[in-house]
Each structure stands twice: as C-alpha cells, then as structure tokens.
A and B are shown apart, each in its own frame.
Chain A
C-alpha cells in the first residue's frame, strides 16, 4: 500500500511516533510547539494529541473583544446627517471621522487576533480561523466597517470544525461577505453576479463544474439577500422569486435552495477536502486521496472535524512528502517565532507590520482568491523580508520597520529557555537547530552557526557572561532564521 493514502498512520519499529512527528503535528495544526510541548505530544501519542487539538473547547480562552460602541455612534451620526441631507461639508467631515476611527479599530482588531494566535491554548481553532479567512475571503477596504469583519472572524471562530454546509449558509448571510461581494446590492431585475460567481468558483464547486447560465440563475436566487443594522435581512421586494434553472434543476429557487443543490453536486464533496489537505499536508495530492477524503466528507454530511481528524492521523500526513515541505505563511512564520521565542505585547503592531510587508496583511487580502500558498509566498523581495524578520524580534527593528530608540532588548526569554544547560557552542547550536528547524541542518551549515558564536569548534565552551556573548547569540539566531531551513514547516 502506498504511503500517500488516507490510511491511518500506525507507528512501527521502523517508523515510530517520535518528536519529529509531534513537532510536525504542532506545526501544521497550529503555529509550532516549544520543546516542552513537543515532548508532551511525543509522549501522548498521535490519537490523544489529535483529540486534544480537535476538542479545543476543553481549554479556557478569555480575551476581551474590542469594543465598538463609540465607532457605531460615529457611523450612526454620519448616517443621520446623510439622511437629513445635511450640508455636504458636514457630511464629509462626519464620514472622515468615522472612517478614521474605523481604520484605527481595524488595527485594534488585527492586534487582538494576532495576540490571540500567539497566546491561545487552542492553536487549531486559530489556525482554522486563518484557513477560513483565506478561503471565504472578505476584507478592507471594500468592507468599510471593521466591526463587520470582526463579526465574520468570530463566525469562523465559533465553530471552525463544524458543518461546511452550515458555514456556507452562514457566510452567505454574513454582512461583511454581503458587502465584500456586493450581494447587499443584488436586486431583482438587474442582478449583481459577484457573489454567485465566487460562491461557485471559489467557495464550493470549483471552475468547470457549472455554466455561465448557472452563475446568472444563482445571482437571481440571491437577490434581496442583504443586511441592515449589522444583521442579515431578506428584502422580499428586491427578491426575484421567478423560476430558475440551476445545475439542471428547475424551480423557484432562492439562495438557500441554491446552496442545497450545490451540496448535491459531486464536485462539492471534493472541494473542501482538497483545500484542507493542501492547507495541512501538501499541495497537489493524488486524486485517489482526494476521493477518499470526499467519501469521509459525504459520510458525515459535510462535517469538517472528521475530515481534519482523518488528515492529521493519516500516513500521508506523516510521509516525507508532507514533513518539512511546506513554506510557512507569513502568519505562521511570525506567530510561530513569537510563540517560540517570546514577544511582549508592545511588539505586536510591528509583528503585524512585518506580516503586511511579507504579503499577508490580515483583513486586507489581495483579492477574493485569498492568499498565495507554498512557493507562491516566496520572491526575491519577500525572502529578504522574511530573513530580516528575526532582527525585529532580536533588536526591535528591521529594514522597513524603524527600531525604537534606546538599547537593544535582551535575547528573548524563549530563546534563553532553549539553551538551559547547554555548555558548548555545539550544544547551543544543536538546541537551536532542533527547536527551530527540526534538526535539519547539515554539519557545514551548523559550522557557520558555531562560528557566529565566536567558537572554532563544537566542543568549545560557550559561557553566557555579558553583552558580548549575548550579541554573538543574537548573531547565531539571526543567521539561523535567515536560512531556507527556517522558512519550512
């Protein structure tokens, strides 16, 4: 039997459940693990560890959500002026005030989410929110209001491993999505095709499995689906309830019927499984593997949790094709580094700035197709930004992000912890390489790091006794993070 099947991974003498696989699981189902977390998962075994990740609600989560009261008042004030046909200047100023406050609030929401990803005891929950944000895409500036995007983010978080069909129905009624793809303006008689097209092409069935006429008919069915006062509403006057023919089925369909018919199409059962497998394991899986996943998906009537469990426990997921072959997304690179090495909350705005520069501006996706993936993240431009990123954690600044004045920060606490008990340059390097690059560095590359520590040989003692050795340690960390090996998960 080929290892690239959905068959469950069963440890054997020659292929054990070990630290490398534990680290792999924590990387892909979250943002990576510290050495103690990897040890723990290695002890737990795969099944218990995957259960823990999936059943994330057993871990408490409390982070105060941003408050939108004042912002709502500003938008309300603007709406009233517009309604009262106040002088243009007054309206303009109210609009500018609301927009400015809204952009500030968006930044606050971004900081809230990023600190949550860094601190959460539920890494799979946040990783899934990131997945949904990249699949069911909405963002600024098309969506003007940060609160709508926050609500959408919470929709993803509420039940990220729940039922996909329910998720599609919910996103079709989600105000941010209604606004992002213009369905709020989709009216009887002269429909707007934007949402209907992307629902089919990017969210559920995929191109090639429907016709242009299907897009037009689906657009008619979604007429009148709009929002008011931050909530979905169905505007019957704008709804076209005439007969439609969609994917070969005739009836007076509305949006809900369209979704029902979509989920009867064979291609729909393969769509999300493929996306999830590519997100967690590797790109371009064999069709036979996708078909096995589709079978799991159909059997559970489109539940996401069984699908994710099947992927995270499959032999394919722990095969050489999957392990250390994924290019970290900027979110993974930045959040993972912060989780491992530690970053205080004052640094979060700069961490977000770094992700923006690397091409993953949360809540500002490049287009409805979502983020790049795999090697698509890497250009001559982004690779230098990614390599420079470590200086942000180590020195407080990097090219493109000015360092706040004053002295250099101490070596991050997380890095210090990695080194407890390491007495020689070789041991220091081994600790770092194990924790940060799964040990995957050849000896001559390790030699470069030993030299960065100011040592000639691996056996040379490395005693941390002041500013000079701390600076050398920073050099070694910076170099290790400025390597291809650190870019892989």
Chain B
C-alpha cells in the first residue's frame, strides 16, 4: 500500500479487489490503486521534463506491406521496370518530393503531411532479414533480430523497466483478440479488449442475486498461493479483466463523440482508443491491428483499400484528438513485419521482401520523409537493403517520447532518427 492509500480507503472505494483479502498478490492491489487514481500513471514514467501524459499508439500492418507501392519512387525507372503490372503510374502518384509520392488512395495521409502531423521513415529493416511472417513479426515484437525465443516484447520490457515489481494492467491496452508479444511484460500481459459491450462479467441475475453472485464470483476466482502456472495465470487474468473492465467502461462513458469514423474494423479500433484517451485511462501504450497486407496475388484493389483504411482511420483519430484537446499527447507508429519483393510475381502480386517504410503521426513529430530510399538495383536476393534499423526507431520513441533509456530496453545503443526532437 505504498501509494498512500490505506486498506480502509481502499475498501470504502468499493473496489472489487476487497473480497480477495490477504490472498491478493501485491501487483493486483497496486493495480486497483492505480486504476482508481489516474495520477499513479507516474509509476510507469518518466524522466524529469518528459510529460507524463505522452501516449504511444502502435499500429500493426499484418501480412507484409508493399512499401514500394505505398511510398512510391515514381522518379525511378527501375521501379517501373520491376513492376509492369503493379506500378502506380506517375500521374496517379500523390507527389511529396521531386521523386517520391504516396499511393493515390492516401489523400488523407498527404493532408496530414501538409498539416505537419504525418511522416514516413524509409527503408526500415534489420540485418539477415527473415521472410517468414511469424519469425519476422516476432523479431519486430521482441526487437531481437537474432530471433531468440523470448516471452516478453519491447514494449513489455519498457513497462518492466518502469515498474519492476508490479504491473498496471491498463498501462498497455491492446484492441483485438490476442495480446501481441510486443506488449507482454515479465510482470503480466496487460489488457486486451475488442468490444466494450462484451467487456464485463454478467451474473445470471435471477438466482442467487447479482450482488451475491458478484461476491461468489470473487471467491471462486481469487488467486491462491502455490498454484500451477496456467491456472494461476487464468485467475490473475480474470481478476485483471474484471477490474479493468470497470475502469475502461467508465472511461468510455465520458466520451462525447461527434467525429465520424470510416466504417471498418481498424477505424473502429482507433475510435475505441480515442474514447479511452478521452476518458483519461492511465495508459501509456495502445496497440491496434490491421491485417490483409499479404498480397501475393491480385494485389491492386486489396492494397489500395488497406492504404485508404490506414489514412482515413488515422485522420479521423487525429481530428477526434484535436476536438478533445488531446492531440499533443499522442503519437502513432505504424509498422509491418516486412516489405515485399521489388519485382512483382506472375500473379499480379508480390512475394515476401525485406525493408519497408514505417509511418509516424503526431503534432509534435517532424513531418515529411525521413531517411533514404534503398537502391532498387543493388539488391540482396532481389530484395531491398535496409538503411535504418527498426531498433533506431524504437530507440527514438523510447527516448524522446516515453522518457525511457533505450539501451536498457533494447540491449544496446541505437542512433536516433530525427522524427522526434
């Protein structure tokens, strides 16, 4: 009870945790305290001078995004030679610089670049790239290009570094059905939700009575000492779920709305994140997912639709944050596990490749295009050579946005990329 709240106050606040009594492990009680007191977010941050309110949103573009058809090198003949069927015609590209431009469906993205809230980091990858979805995704999640098996991810290690003896479940919130490895910490796995309406336990109401059932539920699910791993994990997850569901739904209730979002799953995730930010949920990192980038065949229409979703979804999100007055607090970082082969295949698609651009959004970023385009002619096995290590991007975010020491989290020093001052 080091946060200055006595057990009595704790009970008076009517927290569900009470029934667990002495069996509650310390991290759970601290969890409950943190959630009742948004100022406890201080326990996961920060360095003097770094705003404690900074929030990171990670967007995972699953499947391997075709970077060359996203940030299009329209000034480069090699691009057109490699892609007779799939290249975006020069006249359709939304020009950003003299020889680089955006896919024609990214008009909202371009508007954000012009407003100074969107940027692209070119040629991001890592040495000896894996072309396996699963291995490469794991490498991005663990920030370990050696691909060693790990139980915690880079964001999880950030949580652990700030809060070594406890976990605050809502420090990391994932929107989706399974928790990404990136967010897993030694101290616990955080909160995942998809739909706030189903994010609550419902008593059966007409039997023992709702209140009685709630209490019996806690008796049944209270963690106990010395139980084997899996059942202990289940009990802790259940208690975290019940505690955080109350807090999340309360945060969401405060949301005013008014900004229209596109009607797709990704936009729905971004809207839910905006709702939680509006409700001042004590969360440092949110995680959202897009899927479908694995465009081996007939890529054109699918890829265009996905880039449209990315641009319009993030655009709506930032207009929402502006309306809330929270736009200063939030950056978005979008990545994919790899880019795609420079040359198209024979089925109007592209196979797995290597380096690709990342995307970054926020009012306090340096907008525009960062880094250099990898050569389209000096390839390794037909694939691009990366010019920026993805861990440099992580290091920049950890250092300049989250106020953490990147070397401790990533294992060594990486150059910063100047998209954050």
Chain A interface (Cβ within 8 Å of chain B)?
181-182, 185-194, 197, 201, 207, 212, 215, 325, 327, 357, 359, 366-369, 372, 374-385, 387-388, 391, 394-395, 398-400, 408, 442, 444-445, 447-449, 451-454, 471-476, 478-480, 482-485, 487-488
> Is A194 within 8 A of B132, CB to CB?
no
A212 to chain B, nearest CB (A): 6
Chain B contact-residue range equals 35 or more
> Is B207 within 8 A of A475, CB to CB?
yes
CA distance A196 to B224 in the complex (A): 48
Q: Pick from B134, B190, B237: contact of A383, CB below 8 A.
A: B237
Chain B interface (Cβ within 8 Å of chain A)?
62-63, 130-135, 169, 174, 177-179, 189-195, 197-204, 206-208, 212-213, 216-217, 219-221, 224, 228, 230-231, 233-235, 237-238, 240-242, 244-245, 291, 294, 296-298, 344-347, 349, 351-352, 381
Q: What are 30 sample pairs from A and B whose C-beta atoms fall under 8 A apart?
A: A185-B297, A185-B346, A186-B346, A187-B347, A190-B344, A192-B296, A192-B345, A192-B347, A197-B131, A197-B352, A327-B230, A366-B178, A367-B62, A369-B134, A375-B230, A380-B244, A381-B193, A382-B178, A383-B241, A384-B245, A387-B238, A408-B206, A449-B220, A452-B213, A475-B208, A476-B208, A478-B203, A482-B220, A482-B221, A483-B221
Chain B residues with CB under 8 Å of A375's CB are 230, 233
CA distance A447 to B216 in the complex (A): 9
> Is B296 within 8 A of A380, CB to CB?
no
> Is A372 within 8 A of B178, CB to CB?
yes
CA distance A189 to B241 in the complex (A): 53
> Is A381 within 8 A of B213, CB to CB?
no
> Is B216 within 8 A of A451, CB to CB?
yes
Q: A368-B133, A387-B201 are in contact. Are A452 and B207 (CB under 8 A)?
A: yes
> Is B133 within 8 A of A379, CB to CB?
no
Q: Pick from A378, A399, A445, A448: contact of B200, CB below 8 A.
A: A399
> Is A191 within 8 A of B345, CB to CB?
yes
Which partner residue on chain A sits nearest B347 by CB separation?
Answer: A185
CA distance A383 to B234 in the complex (A): 8
> Is B228 within 8 A of A325, CB to CB?
yes
Chain B residues with CB under 8 Å of A215's CB are 131
> Is B198 within 8 A of A384, CB to CB?
yes
> Is A471 within 8 A of B192, CB to CB?
no
B395 to chain A, nearest CB (A): 27
> Is B132 within 8 A of A207, CB to CB?
yes
CA distance A24 to B345 in the complex (A): 49
Chain A residues with CB under 8 Å of B349's CB are 182, 185, 192
Which partner residue on chain B sits nearest A385 by CB separation?
Answer: B198
CA distance A382 to B381 in the complex (A): 42
A297 to chain B, nearest CB (A): 24
Which partner residue on chain B sits nearest A325 by CB separation?
Answer: B230
Q: A359-B177, A379-B177, A394-B204 are in contact. Are A194 and B296 (CB under 8 A)?
A: yes
CA distance A238 to B345 in the complex (A): 14
Q: Pick from A190, A359, A391: contact of B345, CB below 8 A.
A: A190
> Is B220 within 8 A of A479, CB to CB?
yes
Residue picked from A190, A472, A488, most chain B C-beta under 10 Å: A190
CA distance A185 to B298 in the complex (A): 10
CA distance A344 to B242 in the complex (A): 31
Q: A192-B297, A207-B135, A378-B237 are in contact. Are A472 and B198 (CB under 8 A)?
A: no
> Is A379 within 8 A of B296, CB to CB?
no
Which partner residue on chain B sits nearest A372 by CB separation?
Answer: B178
> Is B199 within 8 A of A381, CB to CB?
yes
The 10 closest A-B pairs by CB, nearest first: A475-B207, A190-B346, A185-B347, A379-B192, A484-B234, A380-B241, A400-B198, A448-B219, A471-B207, A475-B208
Which partner residue on chain A sits nearest B134 by CB separation?
Answer: A369
B83 to chain A, nearest CB (A): 12
Chain A residues with CB under 8 Å of B191's CB are 380
Residue picked from A359, A381, A387, A484, most chain B C-beta under 10 Å: A381
Q: Pick from B132, B177, B216: contact of A452, CB below 8 A.
A: B216
Which partner residue on chain B sits nearest A483 by CB separation?
Answer: B220
Residue picked from B130, B174, B296, most chain A C-beta under 10 Å: B296
Which partner residue on chain B sits nearest A472 by CB separation?
Answer: B207
Chain A residues with CB under 8 Å of B344's CB are 190
B222 to chain A, nearest CB (A): 8
CA distance A448 to B199 in the complex (A): 24
CA distance A363 to B234 in the complex (A): 27
CA distance A474 to B203 in the complex (A): 10
CA distance A333 to B2 in the complex (A): 41
Chain B residues with CB under 8 Å of A408's CB are 206
Q: A367-B62, A471-B206 are in contact. Are A379 and B178 (CB under 8 A)?
A: yes
A323 to chain B, nearest CB (A): 11
> Is B131 within 8 A of A212, CB to CB?
yes
CA distance A452 to B211 in the complex (A): 11
CA distance A398 to B193 in the complex (A): 16
Chain A residues with CB under 8 Å of B130's CB are 207
Given A381-B199, A382-B178, A394-B204, 10 more contacts at CB 8 Å?
A192-B347, A197-B352, A359-B177, A377-B178, A380-B191, A381-B241, A383-B234, A384-B198, A399-B200, A478-B203
CA distance A474 to B240 in the complex (A): 25
Chain A residues with CB under 8 Å of B177's CB are 359, 366, 379, 381-382
Which partner residue on chain B sits nearest A188 by CB separation?
Answer: B346
Chain B residues with CB under 8 Å of A327's CB are 230, 234
CA distance A215 to B383 in the complex (A): 15
B146 to chain A, nearest CB (A): 12
> Is B202 within 8 A of A391, CB to CB?
yes
A91 to chain B, nearest CB (A): 15
B380 to chain A, nearest CB (A): 10
Q: A369-B133, A394-B204, A488-B230 are in contact. Are A448 and B346 (CB under 8 A)?
A: no
CA distance A212 to B353 in the complex (A): 11
Q: A193-B296, A474-B204, A478-B204 are in contact. Are A378 and B347 (CB under 8 A)?
A: no
CA distance A473 to B204 in the complex (A): 11
CA distance A448 to B218 in the complex (A): 9
Which partner residue on chain B sits nearest A445 by CB separation?
Answer: B220
> Is B245 within 8 A of A359, CB to CB?
no
CA distance A369 to B298 in the complex (A): 22
Chain B residues with CB under 8 Å of A197's CB are 131-132, 352
Which partner residue on chain B sits nearest A141 by CB separation?
Answer: B292
CA distance A197 to B133 in the complex (A): 10
